[in-house]
Amino acid sequence: MTEQVEQPTRNLLTEPLLRMEWKDGGLVSRTLPGVLADLESGEPIGGFPGLQPHQWPAWHTFLVQVAALATLTDSENLTPRTEGKWRDRLRALTPEYPRDEPWCLFVPDLGQPAFMQPPVPENSLTKFEGPYRAPDASALDVLVSATDHDIKIQRQIRAESDHWSFGLVTYQTHSGYSGPKNYGVIRMNGGYATRPLVGLAWSQDWSDLFQRDLPVLREKHDQLAKEHGLPVQGGWHLLWLAPWDGATSIPWADCDPYVIEVARRVRLLEQSGKLHAYRRSTQAPRLSPKSDVLKGNVGDPWTPVNAEGQAANVSAGGWSYDRTRQILLGDGYNWSACQHPREDDPPELTFYAAGLARGQGKTEGFHERWIRVPGHITHRLFSPVRRQDLGEIAQERVSRTAEVRKVLHRALVILLASAPDHRPDFRDNRDRRWLDAFEAHVDTLFFGELWADADKDRRIQRTSWARVLCGIVEGKIWPEAEAEAPVADARRERGQARAWMVLRGGLKKVIPEAYEEREEDHHAAG
């Protein structure tokens, strides 16, 4: 007979279950209030050893949201500074539970909530799937792994309490649609979309991220509530407190703008000192309407919204320079609340964007991007007119890059065709790796060059970018293509000569400034 624990265990408010690593390499364990206290005091937190790379956006948003909810309930509107005071604030969110059930990973009474686990009205797990031994891709995770070649199933040999905590938070707050009766959160633009994380930061340090975002949420709460028709006070804030039979939904209109979602029915049991997960599909999403109705436009502080009122998303291509410049400079997108510059920000900031790309029945990668924003650019972000001007420069550079790419594609196809009497097929995609390499070089240089040229004359700006593109194509991509293209030796020289003529002629047509400068320099030297 397996020993069954009868009391709530693994209390995140009182037990140091969350491992943290200092920047100097030291390792400590903290309670949840202790983590919040360290973040608020600016401790040099290097990371959380049990946190997987794709889980950090979910953990960060959870920490900031729960801290905002806890502090907004305080009449004095003060931010706690100590672990004890943070504990009191978190308990104030769940005053009807003197044994801290909503903050315990395991609660034997299924009629009571447990951490990120709603009560089970049927008081039985008979129809739940499980047990699952670890919070990984086969149990509590947002990753969709088709085979063990992606990420090993049940890969965590011994799952610690923090693994379960991070897994629950990620699974419940960032899940998308994953088949019939497995609904996602409302904070995404459809079931196959993602919940993006976009904002400005002082640095990539955990404490800096927390300290900048928490005041934003506190200041924007009432405004976001009114804009989206949500209650300013009294709305649902922790959805795992509400019993869930899987067939009923809670109206989104009854929720606080910072409500912490639970997308799935999950329950943990502790047996012989180990946790096991059980889960069950549902007839309806936890929140109504479904995410594809509101298109993710629900006031999430980290989600930009486009001109059509749809939340930003990330695809398999990730945060490309073109997509990123649209969101960063507000070209067709309204900024997220955490993306707006603040008066107390330092001159230099960092723009970040992160999200897990989803496809139908698959995961298309976790993508994140961090871009340094120097002081003279930050000042431009404050001014709509100057920001628009910078956006126009960026758009022009994107357009010229696309023209250069077309020229490069044409020349590469001719190179691969090799002989003048061979008819090139411009549907040929054997040049994909060189085109991808071109895009990768542009992606690396795009924002640094844009910032460097922002205050220059327009003609100088055009010439500068033209020379950058020319240098990438002629100095990096083309020499590699000529050396590596699978062309017969007997036809190589003729093929290379013809392709080079097409390349140089095309570049002179679409970026003439690059060559005009060179010719002027040549004549001056002569």
Does residue 473 contact residue 445 with C-beta atoms inside 8 Å?
A: no
C-alpha triplet 41, 241, 72: angle, nearest 5°: 40
Does residue 354 contact residue 339 with C-beta atoms inside 8 Å?
A: no
User: What is the per-residue pLDDT for 180?
Assistant: 83
- Is the model's pLDDT at 109 over the cut of 50? yes
Residue with tokens 């028709």: 229
pTM for this one? Answer: 0.91
For a pLDDT cut of 70, what percent of the chain falls above it?
Answer: 89
- Is the model's pLDDT at 524 over the cut of 90? no
**With bands split at pLDDT 50, 70 and 90, how would you rate the model's confidence at 155?**
very low
User: What is the per-residue pLDDT for 427?
Assistant: 60
Buried b (16+ CB within 10 A) or exposed e, 131-143: bbbbbbbbbbbbb
Least confident of 193-197, 199-203, 426-430, 456-460: 426-430
Does residue 462 contact residue 510 with C-beta atoms inside 8 Å?
A: no
| Residues 273-311 pLDDT 10s | 899 999 999 999 999 998 778 999 999 999 999 999 999
**With bands split at pLDDT 50, 70 and 90, how would you rate the model's confidence at 21?**
very high
| Residues 436-484 pLDDT 10s | 999 999 999 999 999 999 999 999 999 999 999 999 999 999 999 998 8
**With bands split at pLDDT 50, 70 and 90, how would you rate the model's confidence at 77?**
low
User: What is the per-residue pLDDT for 421?
Assistant: 45
Mean pLDDT of the chain: 89
Average pLDDT over residues 365-369: 94
- Is the model's pLDDT at 509 over the cut of 60? yes
Query: Between 488 and 122, where is the model more confident?
Result: 122
Buried b (16+ CB within 10 A) or exposed e, 106-116: bbbebebbbbb
Average pLDDT over residues 249-269: 96
Peptide bond into 121 cis (omega under 30): no
- Is the model's pLDDT at 239 over the cut of 80? yes
Sequence-distant (≥ 6) Cβ neighbours of residue 94 within 8 angstroms? 100, 101, 102, 103, 238, 241
Beta pairing class for 129-132 and 27-30: unpaired
Does residue 387 contact residue 381 with C-beta atoms inside 8 Å?
A: yes
**With bands split at pLDDT 50, 70 and 90, how would you rate the model's confidence at 148?**
very low
- Is the model's pLDDT at 139 over the cut of 90? no
Q: What is the DSSP string of 297-348?
A: -S--TT--EETTS-B----TT-S-HHHHHHHHTTSSEEPPGGGS--TTS-SS
Distance of alpha carbon 222 from alpha carbon 226, whole angstroms: 6
The topology (CATH level 3) of 382-525 is Topoisomerase I; Chain A, domain 4 (1.10.132)
The residue extents of the domains of the chain are 9-367, 382-525
Average pLDDT over residues 29-44: 97
Query: Between 191 and 509, where is the model more confident?
Result: 509
User: What is the per-residue pLDDT for 419?
Assistant: 47
Query: Between 74 and 97, where is the model more confident?
Result: 97
Query: Between 428 and 322, where is the model more confident?
Result: 322
Distance of alpha carbon 100 from alpha carbon 95, whole angstroms: 9
Does residue 284 contact residue 246 with C-beta atoms inside 8 Å?
A: yes
Strand partners, 18: 30
Least confident of 187-196, 322-331, 393-402: 187-196
| Cα–Cα separations (whole angstroms), residue 34 to 38, 63, 84 | 6, 12, 8
